[in-house]
Amino acid sequence: SYNLIANPVMGANGVRGAVIVLLDVTEREESEQMRREFTANVSHELKTPLTSISGYAEIIRNGLVKSEDIPRFAGNIYTETQHLITLVEDIIKLSRLDERAVELERAETDLLAIARDVAERLKVPADQGQITIRVSGEPAKVMGVPNILDEMIFNLADNAVKYNKPGGSVQMTAGVQDGHAFIEVADNGIGISEGDRERVFERFYRVDKSRSKQIGGTGLGLSIVKHGAAFHNAHVTLQSEVGRGTTVRITF
160 is an interface residue for ligand ADP by CB under 6 A = yes
144 is an interface residue for ligand ADP by CB under 6 A = no
Q: Which of 109, 159, 169, 171 binds ligand ADP (CB under 6 A)?
A: 159
| x-marked contacts with ligand ADP along 193-232 as a string, rule CB under 6 A | -------x----xxxx---x----xxxxxxx---------
Interior/surface letters 109-141, b for 16+ CB within 10 angstroms, e for the rest: bbbbbbbeebbeebeeebeebebebebebeebe
Q: How far is the CB of 160 from ligand ADP (least distance, A)?
A: 5
CA distance 106 to 146: 7
Closer Cβ to ligand ADP, 111 or 190, answer by number:
190
Identify whether the C-beta of residue 165 lies closer than 8 Å to the C-beta of residue 189. Answer: yes
Closer Cβ to ligand ADP, 221 or 228, answer by number:
221
Phi (first) and psi of residue 140, to 5 degrees: -135, 100
Identify whether the C-beta of residue 135 lies closer than 8 Å to the C-beta of residue 115. Answer: yes
76 is an interface residue for ligand ADP by CB under 6 A = no
Q: Find, among 125, 111, 243, 238, the residue nearest to 186 by Cα.
A: 238
Q: Which residues bind ligand ADP (CB under 6 A)?
A: 155, 159-160, 163, 187, 189-192, 200, 205-208, 212, 217-223, 246
